[in-house]
Chain A
Amino acid sequence: MLLLLILISGGYTGAKWSGLLPTAVAAERQQLQAQLNRLAQNRGNDELLQDLPAHYPSGTLVWIRWEDPQRTQRQDWSDYLLDLHTQRHPERIAVERIDRSAPNGQLSIDLSHYRHD
């Protein structure tokens, strides 16, 4: 019961923090993760590249962590997509967080990249 209460309270805090209900946040995160992985594994696919930028406003920042915490890079959303479209060595991508809490309304997406085994 206590665990349930904690989960419910955590979920609503998260919803307040992100401006979305938790299930919607998780669904958005999973959908984005699937789309990014598809783009990363289909180098040069212009259709996928044209589809994705419109999902988020210009000015959206992407924070990319490369397998260790010392390698975080910051990129604009559309620049990041073009790098994914261009790269030859696909990586596995996990969407960690989509954050809408910045006071200036700027959206941040936290990603982790892993080498493909």
Chain B
Amino acid sequence: MIKAYPILGLLLLLSSYARAQDRSTQQKLEAIVRSTDREIELLKVYISDIADKTIPEPVRTRKINRVLKKFDPTATIEVTSLIDRRPRQLPAQRYFYRLRDNLTYANIAIEWIQDQPLTGARFSDLGNGVYELIGRYIQVFKGLDERGETIYGDITIKKVTVKVSERIDQLTKRQYQEIKFMKIEAEATLPLDQLDELLPQSDSN
């Protein structure tokens, strides 16, 4: 019995080490999710600002150049409409220039309305300090006429894939996180009047 104690002690030690490792992984995951949520928040605003024709064009162009740095060079974004619901895949750069220039409305209002964090999204550890997160968001698109009236509108469920890499700056040897959007897919396109059905019901009513 006495001889068994060291083994028990070792097992306890190993088990608490494993628990500590789990906690550390969990904390790391939470930190990555929080960083990514902030980038998604920024992406939402960049998309709506780039589409907003009331913002001066040079500012919108600067925002395109900035937001593209948040995307992997191979990143793609899918577009759909109610007329043609089959997703068309565009390189991220083309998508943003199209958003600024080629849509034939007096103005465009785009909003990613769901403030739901990525928590609970699919998370994969790809090894070597690289993680992949996939989350879903609802985008509301409105094409407006000169009076600000909606002449076209749709809702798209967007599936966003993000790659988070732990990197080391070669000069300073400092560690940092690099977050890159890999792809934005369109999972479904629906008419505007179905928005209420998609949103979670509020408890206050």
Give chain B interface residues in 145-197, CB to chain A under 8 Å. Answer: 167, 169, 171-172, 174-179
Q: Note all chain B residues with C-beta closer than 8 A to A44.
A: 55
- The reply to whether A72 and B42 form a contact with Cβ atoms under 8 Å apart is no
| Known pairs A70-B28, A71-B31, A88-B45; A63 contacts B176 (CB<8 A) | yes
Nearest residue, chain B, Cβ from A66: B35
Point out residues on B near A: beta carbons under 8 Å. Answer: 27-28, 31, 34-35, 38, 41-42, 45-46, 49, 55-56, 59, 62-63, 66, 69, 167, 169, 171-172, 174-179
Q: Which 9 A-B pairs have the closest CB atoms?
A: A70-B31, A74-B176, A82-B66, A72-B176, A71-B31, A71-B35, A86-B45, A88-B45, A79-B66
Q: Note all chain B residues with C-beta closer than 8 A to A70.
A: 27-28, 31
CA–CA, A83 and B179, complex, Å = 14
A102 lies within 8 A of chain B by Cβ: yes
CA–CA, A63 and B175, complex, Å = 10
**Number of A-B residue pairs having CB atoms within 8 Å of each other in the complex:** 54
Q: How many residues of A contact B (CB 8 A)?
A: 21
Nearest residue, chain B, Cβ from A65: B176
- The reply to whether A68 and B31 form a contact with Cβ atoms under 8 Å apart is yes
In-complex Cβ contact of B62 among A66, A82, A108 (8 A):
A82
A104 lies within 8 A of chain B by Cβ: yes
- The reply to whether A89 and B41 form a contact with Cβ atoms under 8 Å apart is yes
Q: Note all chain A residues with C-beta closer than 8 A to B62.
A: 82
Q: Note all chain A residues with C-beta closer than 8 A to B59.
A: 46
- The reply to whether B63 and A82 form a contact with Cβ atoms under 8 Å apart is yes
| Known pairs A66-B35, A68-B31, A82-B62; A74 contacts B45 (CB<8 A) | no
- The reply to whether B66 and A83 form a contact with Cβ atoms under 8 Å apart is yes
Taking the nearest CB of chain B, how far is it from the CB of A70, in angstroms? 4
